[in-house]
Structure formats: structure tokens, C-alpha cells
Structure 1
Amino acid sequence: MKVVALVYPGMTALDLVGPVQAWSFLPGFDIQYVWRTPGAVRSDCGLSVVATHGFADAWSDPDVLVTGGGGKPTLDLLGDAELAAFLADRGARARWVCSVCTGALLLGAAGLLKGYRAATHWSARDALPGFGAEASDDRICIDRNRLTGGGITAGVDFGIAVAGHWMGAETGKVLELVMEYAPQPPYGTGRPDLADPQTLERAQAALAAMMAA
């Protein structure tokens, strides 16, 4: 299983680490972390991921193309012609085209979500129709070979669920146990429909400040 994973400055590390950690247990797993050129790429939490390959020498026919999202750095890339061309090229040949969080917007900007249902972070959901996609509020959205997940922590659910989609439910169950994935949210406010109005308002203000920073 050849995975091409996009990494870029300012990305949210967990968006990518969640699914990749789950997939790393699958037989034959191999991955390239790709940015314009090889080298360290600093994420939004300060953790650096090493890009092992550049756009020019990444696999041309991966089994999986995956990208995570982020805040303003992700939005700043929506008009990046070089990136859009790379994603469009690899996405056209990949067996599976995947994203977590606002990574869906990058796929959308590359024309890879036209006519597909897709999920993303709740704060960016309204942007998906602008790319010809049907917005989904599912935590994991599977539409043919387009596999998209909700925001940040959804990447863990996404990785396990997609592994089960590829390899069968029994594999998914084993992965869930191996990863000891039994979340117990301390506050239970992880979606807009679960949060009280004051918490939602404060979260929206925090996201707006992040985008303006």
C-alpha cells in the first residue's frame, strides 16, 4: 500500500498522524511525505515532519493520496497553482483520495471533489459546495473512492474506519484494540450540536482569531 501524504508549513499534525498511525499497522504499508522539496516542515503546533520527497519525485501512481488540514496556512494554499496541479495529477491516478479536516478544501481546490459528498471541520463545511462538493456533517464520509473526515481528532476514527473499509471489519476491530481507541471526551462539547451556546461562541471567536493571526 503506497501512501503519498501531503505535508506543508502550518498544517495540523494530528490530521495526518491519526490516519497514518492506523494505516502503518497494515501489511505492505509504505509512505512518502511530500512537499515542494524534501526537508523539515514545521506544523502548527511546532512539531516538524520531514518531507521525504518533493512534488517532482513522489510516486506518480499511489494507492492512497491523503492530506490533512489546518487554519490560515491551509486557506493560503487554496490559490496555489503548483500544489493544485500536484494533487490533481496524483489524485487522478490514486486508488483512494483522502483528507482529514480542512484538507478537503485542498482537494476541492484541485478539482477532486466535484460531484462527491465530503466532510471537513465543522467551521469550514459551508465552503465545500463552492468546490462542487456536497457537504456532509459525518465524522467519516465515504463516497466511492473519496474518503474524507471531520476535524482534527476525527483523523483517528477515520484511519481505523478506512482500514476496516479496505481490509475488512475484523482488521478494523483489531486496530481499534491495538491502538486502545476508547475515547472518553472530558467535556462532551466536541461538535457544535453538543456544545452550549457560550462555548460555541467562544470556539468560533478562537477560530476567527487563528485565521486572522
Structure 2
Amino acid sequence: MLIQSLIYHDFTLIDLVGALQPLAMIPGAKTEFVAKVEGPISTDSGVVMVANRNFKNASQQPDVLLVPGGGKPSIDILEDKESIDFVALQGERAGWLVGVCTGPLLLAKAGLLKGYRAAAHWAVIDTLDAFGAIPVHERVVIDRNRCTGGGMTAGVDIGLTMVGQLAGKELGQMTEMILEYNPEPPFKTGHPTISDRATIEKAKQMFESIAPEDRIRSIAATE
């Protein structure tokens, strides 16, 4: 089983690792990291990834195409035609399309979520409709062979869900146990539906500066 991930400079590492850690526990699973240019790729956490394939020599039919998100870099890449064309091409070939955080915006810009129910980070989910997707305010959403979800830590939920889809419920249960996935958030402010108003407003202001809704909708309108 081949899991292929798009990576790009300053993407959010936890989006990738959160989903990939469970997926990597599927027997025989292999990973491939693809960037426009092979070599070191910076992430927003300071960890450096290494792209071992580029757009020209990437495997053509991955079982899973995994697209992580991030802050402003994940919005900037929406305007990179070469990257979006790659996602569009691979998306037509892949068995499953998986988007984490703002990653679903890349899938949507590539035309792969039109008419599909999809989730994304709470700060951008309502812009999915501009790309023809159907926003669903859930942590993980599966519609046919598309699996999308919320921000950052939701990558673990997405990865575990995909283990169940690809390798069965029993392995999914075992993987969840091995990962000791039993979260107890210390502040209980992890989503607008449970957070206090002051924290929500501060978070919204931060995201508006790095991923403004009007910019995303403008990009969606651009062919």
C-alpha cells in the first residue's frame, strides 16, 4: 500500500504526521513524500522533511493521496498552478483522497471536491462552498473515496478512520490502543463550539490575517 503525500515549504507538520502515524501501521504500507523539487522542505514547526519524489517522478497510482494544510503557505499554494495541477492529476489516479486542516482547500481548488461533502479547519470550512464542495461541520467526513477533516490534531482521527477503511475495524481498534489515543485537552477550548468568546475572537483575528476569507473566495473564482 502506497501512501503519497504532497509537501510544500512551511506546511503544518502535525497535519501530516498525525494522519500518517496510524496509516504507517498498516502492514506493508510505504510512504512517498512529493514536492515540486526533491530535497529538504521546511515545516512550520522547524522540523525539516525530505521530499523523495518530485512532480515528474512521483508514483502515478498511490493508494492514498494525503494533503496536509497549514497557515498562509497553504493559501499561497492555492495560486501555484503547477502544484494544483499535480494534485488534480494524482487525485484522479489515487484510490483515496485525504485532506487535513486546510489541505481540503487544495483538493477543492484542484476540482476534486465538487459535489462532495467535506470538512476542514473551522477557520476556513465555510469557504469550501466557493469551490463547489458541501461544507460539513464534523471532525472527519467521508464521502465516497474522499476523507477530509478538521485542523491539525484531527489528523489523528483522520488517520485512524482511514486505517479502518483500508485495513478493517479490528486493526483500527488496535492502532487506536497502541497510539494511546485518549485525549484530555487541558483547556477545553479546542473548537468554537466549546470555547469562550474571548478566545474565539482572538483566534478568528489571527486566522483572518493569515487566511482571509475574501482571499480564499477570490482564489476559488479564478480558473
1:174 and 2:174 are equivalent in the alignment = yes
TM-score under structure 1 length normalisation: 0.97
Which residue does the alignment assign to 1:22? 22
The 3-state SS of whatever aligns with 1:120 is coil
The 3-state SS of whatever aligns with 1:186 is coil
Structure 2: which 5+ runs fail to align? Answer: 213-223
Q: Distance in 1 between matches of 2:209 and 2:148?
A: 26
What is the CA deviation profile of residues 111-165 of structure 1, one whole-angstrom value per residue up to 9, with x for unaligned ones?
1101101110000011100111000111000000001111000001111111112
Q: Is the 8 A contact 1:79 1:109 kept in 2?
A: no
Which residue does the alignment assign to 2:200? 200
Structure 1: which 5+ runs fail to align? Answer: none
Q: Distance in 2 between matches of 1:179 and 1:14?
A: 15
Deviation at 1:208, TM superposition (A): 3.0
1:125 and 2:125 are equivalent in the alignment = yes
Alignment: residue pair count: 212
1:39–1:99 CA distance, 2 compared to 1 (3 A): same
Deviation at 1:168, TM superposition (A): 1.6
TM-score under structure 2 length normalisation: 0.92
1:77 and 2:77 are equivalent in the alignment = yes
Let me know the Cα RMSD of the aligned residues.
1.1
Which residue does the alignment assign to 1:38? 38
The 3-state SS of whatever aligns with 1:78 is helix
Deviation at 1:81, TM superposition (A): 1.0
Deviation at 1:33, TM superposition (A): 0.3
Q: Distance in 1 between matches of 2:111 and 2:80?
A: 13
Which residue does the alignment assign to 1:60? 60
1:161 and 2:175 are equivalent in the alignment = no
Deviation at 1:206, TM superposition (A): 2.4
Deviation at 1:176, TM superposition (A): 0.5
The 3-state SS of whatever aligns with 2:16 is helix
Could you tell which deviates more after superposition, 202-211 or 53-62? Answer: 202-211
The 3-state SS of whatever aligns with 1:45 is coil
Deviation at 1:32, TM superposition (A): 0.7
Q: Distance in 2 between matches of 1:91 and 1:198?
A: 39
Which residue does the alignment assign to 2:217? none
Structure 1 moving runs of 4+ over 6 Å: none
1:128–1:210 CA distance, 2 compared to 1 (3 A): closer
What is the CA deviation profile of residues 46-88 of structure 1, one whole-angstrom value per residue up to 9, with x for unaligned ones?
1111101100000011111011001111111112111111111
